[in-house]
């Protein structure tokens, strides 16, 4: 057997079987994962673990070596990405519990007129989506979307689609979300460049799939927010994910003054003492980790290695350090700033971790699956095959993520699996194109949310629409996000 190199400077890997057998192992391994998740409803963590063992067995890799590869991948992924996910969860929980998220929503929506409200809601979705996991952000935003629609008199889709587009695009394209971080770690992309290109691509993607598409979505499905449902959820306007950790007061929010709706008051999450951090403080804290990571990217480009400025920013701009600093700052700006005592802050941080256990396990198992693909030599075989074809690597990355997303319904599983399969391809790409590879995978992971996606049903129930109506709006918006993201990735790839 020939010995191949997976990347410059890496140890040589001897394929464990012939090319045909390795390709069969990869296809059957992925098929097993998809079948277990879709047909037998097995948790993705178990499905990815079993899939890795299937790959090793079919690729004629000794069982002990397969287990070693899998556990090595699990460990490195948890060390590299798992810690960041935990810190991100802590930050997001403090933002929700303190009323900081409420402050962002009230300030932005309260200053928007009826005509500009869809654009303001897109901004709300993007800002809330920046530090929060998609599921948490979705639950947090939904009552806000419904209430704003009722109070403004605008169609539910005209208000909701822009907010969901902002949330979803940030989830798929911009670090420090788990998806982009997983792909960055798998293909060894430059975080700063990926962050910069991700924001650059996310902004027009959100505008096209959000405020612009919402005009058509509102015509196709002209529905109003279910008032009775909102009435039940008013008390949890922006505290759905944190119910029980603070006090509710009756206050007039910005969301109640945006148009000619029914008027009145709503229950707003105000923290343990009725205080909320100011808009400026909240926005600065939310953007802090992004600014630190961007600063690192800039000094990497424009500064000389060894300079004091380079050394300092290179350290604090590392994702782990940037998020750690952001969490520590948030403990004061969000926690103490909203009147929480030390026990309240500690409780908020503690409560942030249990909900992400499943995500951590999926990500870890995905890392193990990726490492198994690499150590059997499958990754290099796929890489060599692609290099000999005319298909664009970026298009291939998008297609692989799309197929897994549509089959499993999970954007995270799509990102994890596609990153593992395509990681060897990054070795022959430029730094900027490796980052674009991450964004192509992220775009593909958003494609066509449908009945096998939990998010599909959550949106359907909150919006009070039928399955067909949800396909015409939410699913169409996700597909437009994915395709627009791909087009922009390919376009940027032509000029960088």
pLDDT in tens, 420-441: 888 888 888 899 999 999 999 9
Q: How many residues does the chain have?
A: 496
Q: What is the DSSP letter of 242?
A: G
Q: Measure Cα distances from 264 to 193, 248, 258, 276 in Å.
A: 46, 16, 12, 21
Task: Answer whether residue 408 shows pLDDT above 70.
Answer: yes
**Residue 301: predicted pLDDT:** 76
- Name the strand (E) or helix (H) holding 483: helix 476-495
Mean pLDDT for 214-242 is 64
Predicted local confidence at residue 237, as pLDDT: 41
Q: ∠340-344-349 over CA atoms, to 5°?
A: 115
Report how far apart, in Å, the C-alpha atoms of 255 and of each of 119, 126, 157, 239 are. 14, 17, 16, 15
Render pLDDT for 31-44 as a digit per residue (tens, 0 to 9).
998 899 878 989 88
Return the percent helix, strand and coil in the chain, to nearest 5.
75, 0, 25
- Mean pLDDT within 225-254: 41
Q: Is the peptide bond before 83 cis (omega within 30 degrees of 0)?
A: no
Could you report the per-residue pLDDT of 438-459, keeping only the tens digit for each?
Answer: 999 999 999 999 877 878 888 8
Find the largest Cα–Cα distance for the chain: 75
Inter-residue contact 186 to 419 (CB < 8 Å): yes
Give the model confidence (pLDDT) of 180-215 as tens digits. 888 998 899 998 899 999 999 999 999 999 999 999
**Contacts of 372 by beta carbon, 8 Å cutoff, 6+ apart:** 52, 55, 56, 61, 66, 69, 70, 73
Highest-pLDDT range among 189-193, 287-291, 473-477 = 473-477
d(CA 306, CA 290): 23
The closest of 282, 162, 131, 159 to 230, measured between CA atoms, is 159
pLDDT in tens, 36-88: 987 898 988 999 999 999 999 999 999 999 999 999 989 988 887 888 888 98
Which residue did the predictor score with more confidence, 213 or 248? 213
- Alpha-carbon distance of 38 to 139, in angstroms, equals 24
Q: What pLDDT, on a 0 to 100 scale, did the predictor assign at position 84?
A: 84
Position with higher pLDDT, 384 vs 324? 324
User: Given the DSSP bridges, would you call strands 4-5 and 12-13 parallel, antiparallel or unpaired?
Assistant: antiparallel
Q: What is the per-residue pLDDT across 137-160, written as a single tens digit (0 to 9) for each?
A: 887 788 788 878 887 889 999 999
Q: Report, in angstroms and rounded to the nearest whole number, the Rg of the chain calculated over CA atoms.
A: 23
Instruction: Dump pLDDT digits (tens) for 76-126.
Output: 888 878 888 889 889 988 998 998 888 888 888 888 888 899 999 999 999
Q: What is the DSSP string of 162-210?
A: HHHHHHHHHHHHSTTSHHHHHHHHHHT--HHHHHHHHHHHHHHHHHIII
Q: With bands split at pLDDT 50, 70 and 90, how would you rate the model's confidence at 496? A: confident
Does 311 have pLDDT greater than 80? yes
């Amino acid at each position: 057997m020939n010995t191949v190199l997976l990347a410059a400077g890496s140890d040589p890997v001897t394929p464990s079987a012939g090319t045909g057998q390795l390709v069969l192992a990869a296809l059957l391994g992925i098929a097993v994962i998809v079948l277990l998740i879709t047909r037998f409803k097995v948790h993705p963590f178990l499905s990815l673990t079993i899939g890795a063992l299937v790959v090793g067995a079919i690729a004629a890799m000794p069982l002990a070596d397969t287990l070693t590869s899998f556990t090595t991948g699990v460990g490195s992924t948890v060390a590299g990405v798992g810690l960041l996910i935990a810190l991100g969860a802590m930050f997001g929980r403090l933002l929700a519990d303190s009323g900081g998220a409420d402050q962002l929503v009230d300030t932005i929506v309260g200053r928007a007129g009826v005509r500009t409200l869809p654009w303001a809601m897109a901004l709300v979705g993007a800002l809330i989506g920046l530090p929060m996991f998609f599921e948490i952000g979705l639950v947090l935003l939904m009552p806000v979307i419904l209430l704003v629609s009722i109070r403004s008199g605008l169609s539910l889709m005209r208000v909701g689609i822009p907010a969901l587009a902002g949330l979803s695009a940030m989830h798929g394209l911009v670090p420090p979300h788990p998806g982009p971080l997983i792909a960055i770690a798998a293909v060894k992309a430059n975080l700063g460049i990926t962050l910069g290109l991700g924001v650059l691509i996310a902004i027009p993607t959100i505008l096209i799939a959000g405020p612009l598409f919402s005009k058509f979505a509102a015509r196709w499905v002209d529905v109003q927010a279910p008032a009775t449902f909102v009435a039940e959820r008013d008390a949890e306007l922006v505290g759905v994910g944190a119910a029980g950790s603070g006090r509710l007061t009756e206050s007039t929010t910005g969301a109640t003054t945006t148009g000619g709706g029914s008027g009145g008051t709503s229950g707003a999450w105000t923290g343990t003492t009725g205080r909320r951090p100011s808009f400026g403080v909240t926005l600065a804290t939310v953007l802090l980790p992004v600014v630190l990571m961007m600063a690192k990217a800039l000094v990497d480009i424009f500064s000389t290695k060894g300079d004091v400025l380079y050394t300092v920013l290179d350290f604090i701009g590392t994702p782990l350090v940037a998020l750690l600093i952001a969490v520590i700052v948030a403990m004061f700006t969000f926690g103490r700033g909203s009147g929480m005592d030390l026990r309240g802050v500690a409780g908020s941080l503690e409560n942030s971790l249990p909900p992400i256990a499943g995500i951590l396990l999926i990500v870890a198992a995905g890392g193990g699956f990726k490492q198994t693909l690499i150590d059997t030599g499958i990754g290099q075989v796929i890489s060599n095959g692609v290099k000999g074809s005319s298909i664009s690597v970026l298009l291939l990355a998008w297609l692989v993520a799309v197929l897994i997303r549509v089959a499993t319904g999970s954007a995270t599983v799509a990102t994890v699996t596609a990153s593992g399969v395509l990681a060897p391809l990054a070795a022959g790409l430029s730094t900027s194109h490796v980052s674009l590879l991450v964004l192509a995978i992220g775009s593909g992971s958003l494609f066509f949310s449908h009945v096998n996606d939990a998010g599909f049903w959550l949106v359907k129930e909150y919006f009070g629409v039928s399955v067909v109506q949800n396909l015409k709006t939410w699913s169409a918006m996700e597909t437009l996000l994915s395709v627009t993201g791909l087009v922009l990735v390919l376009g940027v790839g032509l000029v960088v």
